[in-house]
Amino acid sequence: MESFEDLGVTPDLVDALTAEGIETPTEFQASAIPVLLRGNPLLAQAGPGAGTLIAYGIPLLQRVDPEAKSPRALVLAASADGASRLASSLSRLAQVTGHRVGALDSGWALPEVSSVLFSTPEILLGAVKESSISLEEVQAVVVDGFTAIEARGRGALETIFEALPKDTHRVLLGQPLTDEAEAFGKAHFSKAVHIPPKAAQAGEEATPPKRGEVFYRIVSEGKEPELLQAVGIAFGEGVRHALLFFRTEDQAADVGDVLNLHGYQVGQVGDGDAPVWLAADELQGRKALEEWPDPAEVVTVSVDVPSEPDALDRRHGGPESSVILVRSRELPHLRDVARRTGYRLVPGKEPIPTRVSGELERLRSLVDRAIREEEIAPFYLALEPLFQTHSPAEVAAAAMALLNRSQGSGKTPATGPERGATEESSSGPPPKTWVRLFMAVGEKDGVGPGDLLGAIAGEAGVEGSQVGKIEIRETFSLVEVNPAQADKIIRSLNGTSIRGRAVRVDHDRGGPRGRGGSGSRGGPAGRPRRKLKGDRPSDS
């Protein structure tokens, strides 16, 4: 296994990493650090859980002048909290190199004189317009989490990249690395290196054998409350030992102190007298599990998300019951690792908060009725960006929480300020009648309802409330729209592309169109109604 020294990391930073308990690079770090130290632009399919901060942070600290009194490197994140958290983590390493790290946030003093500056695109653009930050001397820029940034709108990001010096070193990370990210890279990067290589991203790597299921639980940022709960539940169900996996010895020691304070005896892996075992070495942990006589007596818990397939398999590839504690922002990475390893991810059963337990059945009934009876297609447009950063189960749970709150107050959930609707407006209530448009993209092009809604909103500026039933066929799609918006949608979408396929849009003329064509009868529009819930992205 490669070391950080082998990757070209300087001795002072190697020592700083060791002091943090980080001694061996993750799979992504081993691939990305040499590329970035050479100054190559990078488009990477990676996110939280893969070790991304160190992967780009170390090259920034080695390549940027620590004496600079204005930003030489920018790191752009989706949220101010995320930018501040990343800055705090990198600043610990920067203490040994003399770099000043800052974030454009109220908790940071004089961020404008930081040599490495973290921010959201919107906040940074505001500072540039106020002339408190200059982009003229920026030597490197990192987009950490393109998918989440794009979900909030990428106008500010585009403006920043257009204003950067042409020789700025550019890095973009996304999990997944979407077609939109690739298009952004094509527009703003020159001869970028891809990690993994584009052939692997397209799914041309060998399909791993199916290895079964692995359970996960969505937890808070700190993870400690959920860890204590998971350990307590395991022992309450008769388990004798809980083996907790960590990425570093320091993290294991810190959690061991917390467990001791809560009355749990912590010991070495395989110690029959200690209920809780701590492991930062996956091979050592797996060996101890294989030597233990009864796998039913042990539960394995990943406190840190496995960084790569080998780590996942060693931790959770045995017959023991197991669970992975994962922050919502780490879930895309975990899904990718599980896919490459051959495991199917399954959400673990969550304890039900007492304060809402009496309401659950009523809320389930309301949601079930809405799925069967309501026109839910327009809401895909609003929710689809959330599916890039959160699991559908999380989004549904949040919606139920809002529903529970609104039901308790006797109000309906807020949907924004009311606006008067006119015949020409793209907002307002759905029309009583629809017209149907024909779009020459379908299932074989990988198109879903969210793609069509997104194109209609993005290209034509028409809101989801003005779109009705969407029917995806093999080679084409049929979309009901407000008659007042039909011609606008046709003009705006013709000549554009969806999922890389050129789109032709026109009024639907009816008649047979081959297998499953619109000549089939059924439903008020003269066609069978396909339920959209079958198009939802899988949670695993």
Q: What is the largest CA-CA distance in the chain?
A: 76
The CB-based long-range contact list for 369-374 (8 Å cut-off, 24+ gap) reads: 371/533
Q: Do domains 11-201 and 212-347 have the same CATH topology?
A: yes
Q: Please report, for the chain, the start and end positions of each structural domain, with discontinuous segments joined by +.
A: 11-201, 212-347, 354-409, 435-535
3-state SS, residue 74:
strand
Instruction: State both tokens at 289.
Output: 């599990």
Give the pLDDT of residue 391: 64
Tokens 């032709």 correspond to 504
> Which architecture does CATH list for 435-535?
2-Layer Sandwich (3.30)
Among 17-26, 107-116, 154-163, 527-536, the range scoring the smallest mean pLDDT is: 527-536
Tell whether the model's pLDDT for residue 456 goes beyond 90.
no
Mean pLDDT of 311-329: 94
- Encode burial over 99-135: b for 16+ CB neighbours within 10 A, e otherwise: bbbbbbbeebeebeebbbbbbbbbbbbebbeeeebeb
Query: Phi and psi for 283 in degrees, rounded to 5?
Result: -65, -40
For 413-449, give the secondary structure using H, E and C: CCCCCCCCCCCCCCCCCCCCCCEEEEECCCHHHCCCH
Domain spanning 212-347, CATH class: alpha beta
**Look-up of token digits 């009901």:** 480
Handedness of CA 308, 235, 252, 393 (dihedral sign): positive
**pLDDT tens string 136-150:** 999 999 999 998 898
Each residue of 491-505: pLDDT tens digit?
888 878 887 788 889
Interval 416-435: pLDDT, tens: 333 333 334 455 555 657 89
Residue-level pLDDT at 378: 64
- Kindly tell me if the per-residue pLDDT of 64 is higher than 60: yes
Architecture of domain 11-201: 3-Layer(aba) Sandwich (3.40)
Q: Quick check: 371 and 456 in contact, CB under 8 A?
A: no
pTM: 0.66
Q: Kindly report, residue by residue over 118-135, the tens digit of the pLDDT.
A: 999 999 999 999 999 999
Question: What mean pLDDT is reported for the chain?
Answer: 83
